[in-house]
Amino acid sequence: MDIDKLKTLLEKNSDGLTDEFKRIFHGRGGLYEGWRHLTIDSVDKILSVAIYFKEANEDALLEMLKDFVKTSRHTTLVVQRRYIKGSLSEVLIGELQENLFALENGIKFKLNLLSNQNSLYFPDMKNGRDFVRENAKDKNVLNLFSYTCAFSVAAKLGGAQSVSNIDMSKSALSVGRSNHHLNDIDTKGVSFLPYNILKSFSRIKKKGPFDLIIIDPPTFQKGSFEATKDYEKIIKKLPDIASDDCILLACLNSPDLDSTFLIELIQEFAPDFRLIERLENPKEFASQDEERSLKNLVFKKTL
């Protein structure tokens, strides 16, 4: 697909855009030959572009995007060059206001578009947050690897009785607390705990038993978590912290590990949990091989 066809596709995918966050081009899924290095998001009036590795047509691409912005609803163009370590994002058109947020089904999540890495918000997890919101009523929720606590916000809006957010990063938890305030959520009954999960199960157990458990770890985080060897350590603890009718949302975002990896861990180390479904990913995140994309598996404890 050449640049002109890409522009035509962007125009098509921009029909009906609102102030809600939407991915309008997902090259990372491998469905568009020659564009695996590119994603483009609409954030209200901002067009946010991420380039994951250098290609010869980058200058032509940026010129096309500038032209596209001039005829779209967008007034600002931001580009992340993810392949340049430590490089800040560049605002090519317009300006970024302070206190940005992404809007998802009416929920606000803080957003940092000037970072060259994570923006504080993971849009591909939208259906996972919807699931939690729909299944959290009156439940005691455990949110492991909570990062900026988006699942916690969804759980509280869904009527959760309590939520325990666990993450090593105090700064991420601070953003998480702000995400609750941004949505006018009373944080009574919500905990923000800067624990090393693999070393803190005795403290986590005291907050249980849990009726809804969310495990959303990084695939690899040096010195703290490696999915291939550490995920099973968490699964082994499930029988000690889960209520009798606990629901488990186990997430995995590794292109090299498929759904079978998680299913077999559950069968071996937490056999009381049965697979209920795999949540579909949002259609705008479609992938050439869904087993290489985000996997959200729902399990239910049965006695």
Stretch(es) of the chain classified as CATH 3.30.750.80: 3-110
From residue 212, give the alpha-carbon distance in Å to each of 40, 100, 202, 237, 250: 33, 30, 18, 14, 11
Residue 47 burial class via C-beta count within 10 angstroms: exposed 0-12, middle 13-18, buried 19 and up = buried
- What is 3-110's CATH topology? Transcription Regulator spoIIAA (3.30.750)
Residue 90 burial (CB count, 10 A): 14
Average pLDDT over residues 141-146: 98
| pLDDT, position 87 | 83
CATH topology of domain 123-301: Rossmann fold (3.40.50)
Let me know the angle formed at the C-alpha of 22 by 186 and 181, rounded to the nearest 5 degrees. 15
Q: pLDDT for 193-240, tens place per residue?
A: 999 999 999 999 999 999 999 999 988 777 779 999 999 999 999 999
Higher pLDDT, 88 or 29: 29
Residue 105 has a pLDDT of 96
The per-residue pLDDT for 117 is 78
Task: Give the least confident one: 38-42, 162-166, 225-229.
Answer: 225-229
Quick one: angle between helices 227-241 and 259-269, nearest 10? 40
Can you give the pLDDT at residue 219? 83
Give 192's pLDDT tier (boundaries 50, 70, 90).
very high
Q: Please state, in angstroms and rounded to a whole number, the distance separating the CA atoms of residues 57 and 77.
A: 18
CATH 3.40.50.150 maps onto the chain at 123-301
Mean pLDDT of the chain: 95
Structure tokens at 241: 């912290």
In terms of Cα–Cα distance, which of 143, 269, 128, 119 is closest to 195? 143
Arithmetic mean of pLDDT, 85-90 = 87
CA distances from 269 to 30, 81, 116, 244 (A): 34, 41, 38, 16
pLDDT at residue 131 above 90?
A: yes
CA dihedral 120, 122, 127, 128 (to 10 degrees): -70
Is the pLDDT reported for residue 118 higher than 90?
Answer: no
* Per-residue confidence (pLDDT) for residue 85, from 0 to 100: 86
pLDDT at position 220 is: 78
Give the percent of the chain with pLDDT over 90: 93
Judged against a pLDDT cut of 80, whether residue 19 lies above it is answered with: yes
Q: Has residue 272 got a pLDDT over 80?
A: yes
Q: Which two tokens stand for residue 161?
A: 């009785």
**pLDDT value at position 218?**
87
At residue 115 the predicted structure's pLDDT band, cuts being 50, 70 and 90, is confident
Contact 38, 10 (CB under 8 A): no
Residue-wise DSSP of 80-123: EETTSTTPPPEEEES-PPSS-EEEETTEEEE--TT-SS--S--G
